[in-house]
Amino acid sequence: MTTTTEPVDPFVHPAFFYAGAREYLAGTVPFVRAALTAGEPVAVAVPGENLRLIKDELGADGATVRFLDMREAGRNPGRIIPGVLRAFADAQQPGRRVHIIGEPVWADRSPAEYPACAQHEALINAAFQGRAVTILCPYDTARLDERALADAHATHPVVIAEGSGTERPSAAYDPDTVVSRYNEPLPSAPGAGPGVLRLSFDEDSLSAVRHLATDHGARLGLTGLGLENLALITAELTTNSVVHGGGTGTLTVWPEDGYVLCEVRDEGRLADPLAGRRPATRDQRGGRGLLLVNLVADLVRTHTGPQGTTIRAYLPR
């Protein structure tokens, strides 16, 4: 897994296919140990059960490894780049390669979550272009469906086939197509009915709409931080519509399964697929609204095109 010469793009992003704990450890622990031997920083952000496997295997050697449960830190795929990967990579001293194991796709990701996962994996390539960073992404061939495994070949420039231990270029690598394919229309928000708040807004009504949204969120069972997050999400999405999205939009808030969903639709087009996924630099003034939405929501789904943009945020009830 270690390279002695830097490739043209120093960013390295392999998908590693495994089945079972033995293969998982055989593909991940040597990756961690090689980084530690080189004195280079390493983080492991994988689902809790796999985190325990790696931690147990490393024992005391893992003392300097940053461990994160991806089910928590990366619950919303849209915050993994800014909140997990860049947060770790950017905090390291320059001049040393940064190593991360990032496992954002697991078998019980919901149908609503999966498209955001695939887009996230595709966008990592643009987000880390030119950086001396290696991100190894494990994929569980025993439990993931065919689509997820095929997508991994399109979102990773190199792949490590199950049991092979060796990297080869992925012939199917095509991340832009994955971003486009999962830029799919969202299932329609309910138009009316009990529990549904649907409002059009413009600059004059931003404040009133935020208050109505939070009042509604409280009726749907949000409290404390959940309500605070709904107020922030509503404010940022509706203000974006007023400032960048044609001046007006429609807000819908409704309950679905264990979540309160907050959706804003406008006639603007979101041109930058990395919007809300880049950590802002300290001197940058604007452009952090979508980043905040990604950091506080459990899931953010987006559809953008010539007809407009829809952004839907999920808050746990």
Partner 1 sequence: MNAAEPARPRPAVVPGPKPAAPRLDVSPLAGRSGFRAAGEVSLRTRGIWERALERAVREGEDVYYLELSALTFVDVAGAGALAAAAGGLGGHRRLVLDRPPHALPRILDLLWPGLPGIEVRAS
* Segment contacting partner 1 by CB under 8 A, of 39-47, 136-144, 154-162, 209-217: 209-217
Q: Which is nearer to partner 1, 141 or 205 (CB)?
A: 205
Side-chain half-sphere exposure of 277, counting CA atoms within 13 A = 26
User: CA 125 to CA 133: how far, in whole Å?
Assistant: 11
Interacting residues with partner 1 between 102 and 131 (CB under 8 A): none
* Segment contacting partner 1 by CB under 8 A, of 10-18, 59-67, 100-108, 275-283: 275-283
Residue 89: which of 141, 6, 11 has the closest Cα? Answer: 11
Query: Are the beta carbons of 13 and 158 closer than 8 angstroms?
Result: yes
User: CA 50 to CA 54: how far, in whole Å?
Assistant: 6
Q: Which is nearer to partner 1, 142 or 280 (CB)?
A: 280
Residue 301: which of 219, 197, 212, 186 has the closest Cα? Answer: 186
- In the bound complex, what is the minimum distance in angstroms from residue 202's beta carbon to partner 1? 6
206 scored as a contact of partner 1 (CB under 8 A) = yes
Q: Which is nearer to partner 1, 183 or 248 (CB)?
A: 248
Indicate the angle between helix axes 20-37 and 48-58, nearest 10 degrees. 60
Residue in the block written with tokens 């404010």:
235
**The binder of partner 1 chosen from 64, 129, 177, 207 (CB under 8 A):** 207
Query: Are the beta carbons of 201 and 209 closer than 8 angstroms?
Result: yes
Letters for 181-200 (x = contact with partner 1 by CB under 8 A, - = none) are: ----------------xxxx
**Helical H segments across the chain, by residue range:** 20-37, 48-58, 70-73, 80, 86-90, 114-127, 146-155, 175-181, 206-219, 224-244, 289-296
User: CA 33 to CA 99: how far, in whole Å?
Assistant: 11
Interacting residues with partner 1 between 226 and 265 (CB under 8 A): 228, 231-232, 235-236, 239, 242-243, 248
- In the bound complex, what is the minimum distance in angstroms from residue 88's beta carbon to partner 1? 13
Q: Which is nearer to partner 1, 159 or 242 (CB)?
A: 242
**The binder of partner 1 chosen from 211, 219, 221, 274 (CB under 8 A):** 211
Q: Which is nearer to partner 1, 170 or 252 (CB)?
A: 252
93 scored as a contact of partner 1 (CB under 8 A) = no
Residue 137: which of 276, 37, 18 has the closest Cα? Answer: 18
* Segment contacting partner 1 by CB under 8 A, of 1-9, 114-122, 169-177, 206-214: 206-214
* Strand arrangement of the beta sheet that strand 259-266 belongs to: 197-201, 249-256, 259-266, 308-316, 299-305
Q: Which is nearer to partner 1, 127 or 242 (CB)?
A: 242
**The binder of partner 1 chosen from 14, 47, 289, 308 (CB under 8 A):** 289
**The binder of partner 1 chosen from 291, 300, 311, 315 (CB under 8 A):** 291
- In the bound complex, what is the minimum distance in angstroms from residue 281's beta carbon to partner 1? 10
161 scored as a contact of partner 1 (CB under 8 A) = no
Query: Are the beta carbons of 279 and 222 closer than 8 angstroms?
Result: no
C-alpha triplet 153, 144, 89: angle, nearest 5°:
60
Q: Which is nearer to partner 1, 136 or 270 (CB)?
A: 270
User: Which residues of this protein are in contact with partner 1, per CB under 8 A?
Assistant: 197-212, 228, 231-232, 235-236, 239, 242-243, 248, 280, 282-283, 285-286, 288-289, 291-292, 295-296
